[in-house]
Structure 1
Amino acid sequence: MRFVDATDMVDHIKAIKSADEIEAIGRMAAMQDEVLQALARHIRPGMKDFEVAAYAQYAGQLRGSEQGLFIGSSSPAGRAAMYKPRHQQGREMREGDAFTLLIENNGPGGYYGELARTFVLGKASQELLDTMALLVEAQRHTLDHLKPGAMPADILAAHNAFMRARGMREETRLYAHGQGYDMVERPLIREDETMPIAAGMNIVVHPGHATASVFTTVCDNYIIGPDGPGECLHKTPKTVIEL
């Protein structure tokens, strides 16, 4: 008997999506857009952070989702609304607060995507708006490098150079990666990834930036085409959502 490590072969098979898979991924992205729209109508002062996350999970399951993660928190103006898990989501929201939520759930058919935005119960600060604008630019910069044949280590290096040039912190998280039946799958946009970018991949790009006074991110999925990413699968505007 001979044992063969087929991990790399299987990972490459998983990474390239068929036409049917891409259709299912599109339905997932539309579902997540609808969840965010439902949240915008539902969030109000007096709710606790976990109630917002629970409503996002509920709204997704009504639309065919089965499971996922919903992390985020609120904060008053002048403090960063960081990602937090369920056991840290006990804060009660007030008028003027910011709330950042990351929706990482699967859609009808079981395929995963990610969508994140920051809500403000009132008017957003100029610092928050400026940070979001820079991150939208950072996301576009990464998308410009997601060409078939590109190596993840080079993409990460280019992103960190972009962030440094604008006085923002280099990325130490996994800020972009493949998705499918797994929430996180290859290629991973980091220095040790050996799988090049290829047409047919479902890639999520979610640069973020945090200081003591502000945190936000922009997070969306793209299908890689022959010349690079196609249109954004999510239709939610890439802005801070003021309520």
Structure 2
Amino acid sequence: MTDLGTTLAALPLFGLIRDGGWTMWLIAALSVVTLAVVLWKLLSLWRLGVWGGRHSARAIALWGQGRRREALDAVRGRPSARARVAQAAIGTALDPRFDDRAAREETARVARQALYRSREALRALELIATIAPLLGLLGTVLGMIDAFRVLQSAGNQADPSDLAGGIWVALLTTAAGMAVAIPAGVALSWFESIADRLQSDLEDLATRVFVAPAQPVAAPRDAVLRRPGPTHLAGAPA
């Protein structure tokens, strides 16, 4: 245990955290939380299938061609958010137990669940991006107070190098707070853009199912050729 403490104390980063005081420890903890949230969010979005959409696009294309059962089979059991919403829209549209209003409400329910999952943990990143620089500023203010208190107690015998060292350590917390807040803010903006794109795609999927009804399958060419011609009027030459 002693060897581990000696090793950590020898690390430059550990020394900076130790010299920065309790606010630096809080900022360091926020940095670990930020990294964990970002990694978890990436895994969650990958499981949600936000970067997919091939199966839902194929289902909508089949729906527009009137191949309704094939459209439903294209997304049946698919785990991605777009596929689940497309399955809900197409399935309820084909189910006689659902009228148009009930089908839209069920599809909206599935879409809301997917959007909620896409926005999970974003409030945590927003909070970290807000409070990390404030903690850094608090640490700087407290450090400056200590530095000037030492200067006051020393009087005319104050060493300027000691004052400069205290100010340097105090400013360290501000830099650390910004170093945590900037990546958290960037990750937050990126995840929000992904959620906004997903919401737009889900609305488009539902609209293309409910507002643009499936077209009937075109009649075979042979059936068109066998269609009877117009009936001749009486007395007209055959």
- Superposition TM-score tier, normalisation by shorter sequence: under 0.3
Between the two structures, name the one with larger relative contact order (CA 8 Å, sep ≥ 6).
2
Higher normalized strand content (fraction of residues): 1
Larger radius of gyration: 2
Provide the TM-score with structure 2 as the length reference.
0.28
Provide the TM-score with structure 1 as the length reference.
0.27
